[in-house]
Amino acid sequence: MHIPENYLSPETCAVMGVIMLPIWYKAVKTVEVKVKEDKETIPMLGISTSLSFLIMMFNLPVPGGTTAHAVGAVLIAILLGGPWAATVSISIALAMQALLFGDGGILAFGANCFTMGVLMPFSGYAIFKLLRGKSQKHNTLASFLGGYFGINIAALGVAILLGIQPILFKDSSGNPLYNPYPLSVTIPMMGITHLIVGFVEGFFTAGVYQFVKRIQKPLDDFSERKPFWTRFKPLIILIVLLIILTPLGLLASGSAFAEWDVSEIFANLSKYHLTPAVPKGMTHGFSFSSLMTDYSISGLPDSVGYILSAVTAVLISFLLYRLLFGRRANK
C-alpha cells in the first residue's frame, strides 16, 4: 500500500502534495475544534495513531508471493467521530514511517496520505454511517464493511496512481521512466491482494471498535469520570500487546506488490510479460536514508529492532499530539 520512492514521477508527487495541502489544513482545524470540546481527543489521537502504525507492521502473506497489511484508517474515523481526525492521524503515522523507517517515499508522502489518509477513512466512514443507520443496531457489521471496502478503495487509488505512470512518463525509447506496471497489472494485483487483506482490516476495525464500546459503557456510568489512563487502560494494554507481537510481521516472506527495489523490479518484469528494462527515472531518482530502515537497528536482531521501532513510534505519537494540540486543549 505504501508507494515507495521513485515509483511516481516528481510531477505526480507534486500534484498530490498540492492536493493534500488544503486537506491537511481543514483536517487540523477540525481536530483543533474537537480538542477544545473534549480534552481526551489528544490521547485518543495518540492511541489511534499507535494502533494504525502497529497494525501496519504486521505483514500478511497473500497469493503471488507478495505481502500486504491492514491500515486502521476507518477504525480511527469511527473512534474519533469523523474522517478528518483520521486524516491527521494517518498522516502522522505515514510521516514517521517515511522519515524514520524508510517505509513509503518522501516525495510520495502526499500520494500515500491521499490514498490511506483520505480515500480510505472518508469512504469507509461513509459506508459505516450508511449501514449503521439511526438505530445503531448494526454497528459490528457496519464497522466491518466500512473497514473492508475502505482499504479496497484506497488500494484502487494506489493502483491508478501507479498504473498511469507508464502512460504519462516515458523515455526516448518509449520505455516507462517510473513505475513500469500498467493499469492492466496494477489494478488486478492490488485488487486481488486487498480483497483478501480486507477481511483482516474489517475484523480489526469491528473488533477494536466493539472492544472500545464495551469498556466505555461501564466507565461512563460513574458520576465522576475517571482519569483517561484509567478509563482506557485496556486500550493501552492492547497497544503494549501489539508491540510485543510486532516481530510476527517478519514471518511473511516476500515484499508487497510494487514495493520492490530496482533489482526486484527487473526480476519481476518478465513475470508480468513486460519489457525487461529498468526505468531510468527509478535508477537516477531521489534517494533518502532513514534512521532505522525497515524497522531495523544495526547490531541488533531484527525482532528487537521491530519492537524498539514500535515503541519509538508510539512514544512519538503521544508526545507529538501533546505538542501540537496541548495548548488548544487548555484554552
How far, in Å, are 10, 49, 77, 267 from residue 111 at the CA level?
11, 19, 19, 26
The model carries a pTM of 0.92
The mean pLDDT values, 10 residues at a time, for the chain of 331 residues are 94 98 97 89 92 94 82 95 96 96 94 98 96 76 96 97 96 91 94 94 94 67 55 86 94 81 82 84 87 90 95 95 78 59
Residue 224, amino acid: E
Q: What is the pLDDT of residues 17-44, one digit of tens each?
A: 999 999 999 999 999 999 988 888 899 9
Distance CA 222, CA 24 (A): 37
**C-alpha angle 21-150-191 in degrees, rounded to nearest 5:** 105
Identify the pLDDT of residue 33.
93
Q: How many CA atoms lie within 13 A of 263 on its CB side?
A: 0
Collapsing DSSP states into helix, strand and coil, what is residue 114? helix
122-to-23, 24, 157, 243, 300 alpha-carbon distances in Å: 12, 14, 13, 28, 40
Delineate the domains of the chain, giving CATH numbers in brackets.
10-210+242-329 (1.10.1760.20)
Q: Quick one: which of 83, 76, 66 has its CA closest to 1?
A: 66
Q: What is the pLDDT of residue 85?
A: 96
Q: Which pLDDT belongs to residue 225? A: 55
Reduced DSSP (H G I as helix, E B as strand, rest coil) percent helix, strand, coil of the chain, to 5: 70, 5, 30
d(CA 207, CA 79): 12
Alpha helices in 246-301 (DSSP H): 262-269, 280-283
Distance, CA of 159 to CA of 185 (rounded, Å): 9
pLDDT tens, position by position, 88-130:
999 999 999 999 999 999 999 999 999 999 999 999 999 999 9
Interatomic CA distance for residues 74 and 240, integer angstroms: 21
What are the Cα distances from residue 243, in Å, to 114, 147, 256? 27, 22, 22
Q: Which residues contact 200 (CB under 8 A, 6 or more apart)?
A: 60, 70
- Count CB-CB contacts under 10 A for residue 248: 15
d(CA 189, CA 64): 9
